[in-house]
Amino acid sequence: MGSPPPEVLLTVTDLVTQVATPVGARNVVDGLTFDLRHGETLCIAGESGSGKSMTALSLMRLLPRPMARVAGGRVLLEGRDLLALDDAGMRQIRGREIGMIFQEPMTSLNPVLTIRRQVAEAVAAHGGVSDNDAAIRARQLLDQVQIADAARRLDQYPHELSGGMRQRVMIAIALAQHPKILIADEPTTALDVTIQAQILALIRRLQAENNIAVILITHDMGVVAEMADRVLVMHQGRAVESGTAREIFQRPQEAYTQMLLAAVPRLGEMTGTILPKRAAASVVADPVGGSVVKVRNLNVRFDIKGGILQRPVKRVHAVDGISFDLGQGETLALVGESGCGKSTTGKALLNLVPWSGEIEIAGKDLAGRSRAGMKPVLRDIQMIFQDPYASLDPRMRVGDLIAEPLVIHGLATGSALADRVEYLIRRVGLSADQMKRYPHEFSGGQRQRICIARALSLSPRVIVADESVAALDVSIQAQVLDLLQDIQNETGISYLFISHDMAVVEQISHRVAVMYLGRFVEMGTRAQVFENPQHAYTKNLLAAVPVPDPARPRRAYVALDGDLPSPVKPLGHVSPPLYRRELGAGHVVWEREPARL
Candidate residues 438, 491, 558, 591; the one interacting with another protein per rule CB under 8 A: 438
Identify which range of 2-10, 145-153, 297-305, 378-386 contacts another protein by CB under 8 A.
Answer: 378-386
Least distance (Å) between residue 370 CB and another protein: 11
Least distance (Å) between residue 500 CB and another protein: 18
Identify which range of 68-76, 84-92, 481-489, 556-564 contacts another protein by CB under 8 A.
Answer: 481-489
Candidate residues 1, 281, 308, 372; the one interacting with another protein per rule CB under 8 A: 372
Counting contacts by CB under 8 A, is residue 281 touching another protein? no
User: For residue 212, which of 36, 31, 375 has the smallest C-alpha distance?
Assistant: 36
Counting contacts by CB under 8 A, is residue 385 touching another protein? yes
User: For residue 407, which of 431, 437, 375, 438 has the smallest C-alpha distance?
Assistant: 375
Counting contacts by CB under 8 A, is residue 236 touching another protein? no
Counting contacts by CB under 8 A, is residue 365 touching another protein? no
Q: Residues 495, 462: contact at Cβ < 8 Å?
A: yes
Considering only residues 126 to 185 of the shown chain, the ones binding another protein according to CB under 8 A are: none
Torsions phi, psi of 426, nearest 5?
A: -70, -35
Q: Residues 232, 43: contact at Cβ < 8 Å?
A: yes
Candidate residues 13, 140, 434, 575; the one interacting with another protein per rule CB under 8 A: 434
Question: How large is the C-alpha radius of gyration of the chain?
Answer: 26
Counting contacts by CB under 8 A, is residue 483 touching another protein? yes
Q: Residues 73, 83: contact at Cβ < 8 Å?
A: yes
Listed in sequence order, the residues at least 6 apart from 412 whose beta carbon sits closer than 8 Å to its beta carbon are 403, 406, 420
How many residues lie near another protein (CB under 8 A)? Answer: 49
**Rounded Cα–Cα distance for residues 551 and 225 (Å):** 8
Counting contacts by CB under 8 A, is residue 399 touching another protein? no
Least distance (Å) between residue 429 CB and another protein: 4
Least distance (Å) between residue 13 CB and another protein: 32
Identify which range of 151-159, 213-221, 231-239, 478-486 contacts another protein by CB under 8 A.
Answer: 478-486
CA distances from residue 181 to 127, 142, 315, 587 in whole angstroms, order as listed: 20, 19, 45, 49
**Rounded Cα–Cα distance for residues 243 and 234 (Å):** 12
Q: Which is it for the CA torsion 66, 67, 70, 71, positive or negative?
A: positive
**Rounded Cα–Cα distance for residues 541 and 533 (Å):** 10
Candidate residues 76, 129, 458, 583; the one interacting with another protein per rule CB under 8 A: 458
Beta-bridge mates of residue 324: 295
Counting contacts by CB under 8 A, is residue 422 touching another protein? no
Q: What beta strand segments (E) does 542-587 contain?
A: 568-570, 579-582
Q: 3-state class of 527 per DSSP?
A: helix
Identify which range of 288-296, 431-439, 518-526, 574-582 contacts another protein by CB under 8 A.
Answer: 431-439
Candidate residues 22, 111, 289, 576; the one interacting with another protein per rule CB under 8 A: 22
Identify which range of 114-122, 436-444, 551-559, 573-581 contacts another protein by CB under 8 A.
Answer: 436-444
CB closer to another protein, 486 vs 531: 486
Cis peptide before 66 (omega within 30 of 0): yes
Least distance (Å) between residue 20 CB and another protein: 12
CB closer to another protein, 374 vs 578: 374
**Rounded Cα–Cα distance for residues 265 and 260 (Å):** 10
Considering only residues 323 to 362 of the shown chain, the ones binding another protein according to CB under 8 A are: 350, 352
User: For residue 175, which of 205, 130, 133 has the smallest C-alpha distance?
Assistant: 205
Residue 594 is classified by DSSP as P
Q: How many residues does the chain have?
A: 597
Contact set with another protein (CB under 8 A): 22, 350, 352, 371-372, 374-375, 378, 382-383, 385-387, 390-396, 404-405, 408-409, 427-431, 433-434, 436-438, 440-441, 443, 445-446, 451, 454, 458, 475-476, 479, 482-483, 486, 490
